[in-house]
Structure 1
Amino acid sequence: MTASVLATALLCAACVTINVYFPAAAAEKAADRIIDDVWDKGAPKPGTTAVPPQSSPPSRLVSAALDFVLSPAQAAQPDIRISSPEVQQAKASLEAHFSSPKPYLDSGAVGLTGDGLVAVREANAAPLAQRNAVKALVADENRDRQALYREAAKANGQPQWEGQIQSVFAQRRVAKAQPGWWYQDSSGWKQK
C-alpha cells in the first residue's frame, strides 16, 4: 500500500506546473524609479534597486517538503530586478541624452507613443534645419528604450516579459508626462 501511495505522490509531483506570473505592481514601481531618474536629468535617487517582496518564512517542515517537490528556484516569487549592468547601461544612456529630445517633447514636435517609444508627432513644430536631427534623436531614444525593455526582461530571466515591461513603461510614462506633452493612445494623439 505504501509503495502505491509513494508512486502516486511522485507522479503528482512530476506533473506540477510552475507558472511565473508577471509582477505588474513591481514593474510599475521599477518603471517609476527609472523614469524619475531619467526625467529628473539623471539625478540619482536613493534606493534605486528593486527590493524583493517580503513574506513570512514557512515552517522548516513545509519548507523541506516544498524543496523536495520543487526546487527553491522554481518556487521563488517573481520580482523585477533593474540593477543588472545592462539595464543600468541603457538607463545611463537615456539619462545622458534626455536633454536633447526634451525641448521637442515640450514643443510637441515629438510625442510619447502608446507602445513605450517616442515619435515625431508634428514635424513643423521643429525648425526646418533641425528636422533631420529630431528624427535622429527619436531613433536614438527608441534604441535605448528598447534596450532597456529587453535587458530588464533578460535580467529577470524572463525574456518573454519584454512586451509586458514595455507596456508598463508606456503607461507610466504617460501618467508621469509633463503638462503640455503629447501622447498617443488607441484613438490618436492627445495633449496632457
Structure 2
Amino acid sequence: AEETVFSMSDVERLLEVGDAQKRRAATSMNERSSRAHSVFTLSLKQTDERTGRELKSRLCLADLGGSEKLSKSKANDGAMSIGTTPWSEYYDSRARLTEAVNINVGLLALKRCIDATHEAQRRRKEGKPPPHVPYQDSKLTTLLSSALGGDCKTVVFVTASGESQHAAETTQSLRFGEKCASVETRARV
C-alpha cells in the first residue's frame, strides 16, 4: 500500500503497522523467525522553489527472510497429507512449509536477478547485448527492481551464522553478498 506522509511520526507509525503485520513463528533454527520478506519504500519529491525543478528520490529498505533448508528448519514437520484430514487442518499444518517455500522462491528470484544484472554489465563492456533480467519472477524482485537496476546506490548487508553446523548456508550467503558487491550501480542526479 502507498501512503502520503508529512512527518517522521507518520513514517514511524507506518513502520509499526507493517511490523505488526509481519508473520513470525518458531522454527527449529529461530524461535521468532520472520515468515516473509518485508519491503519499505520511501519516495521523496522535492521542488526547487527558485527554478521549479523537481528532484525525485527513493529509499528502499528490504528485510529478507532467511533461506531455509526444510531439513534444518523443520518447517515441514507436522505437515499432514491430503485426504487424511479436513482441509482447514491440512492447510494449517502446512503453513510453515508454505512460508518457507515462498521465502526461498523470492530469494532464488533475487539471486537470478543479481546474476543476470552482473552478466548484463559484463556483456555491455564486451559490446554484446545484455540478457533479460527477470524482475517479474517474484513480488520481491518486482518491488526491488528500481534498487537493482543501476540508477541507484544499493547497499546489501548479509548476516550469517558463525556456528559450524550452518557453514554451508553461511558460505552461500557470503557468496551471494560477494556477487551483489560486484554489481555496479550509480545514482544519477
Shorter-chain TM-score tier:
under 0.3
TM-score relative to the length of structure 2: 0.27
Q: Which has the higher Rg, Structure 1 or Structure 2?
A: 1
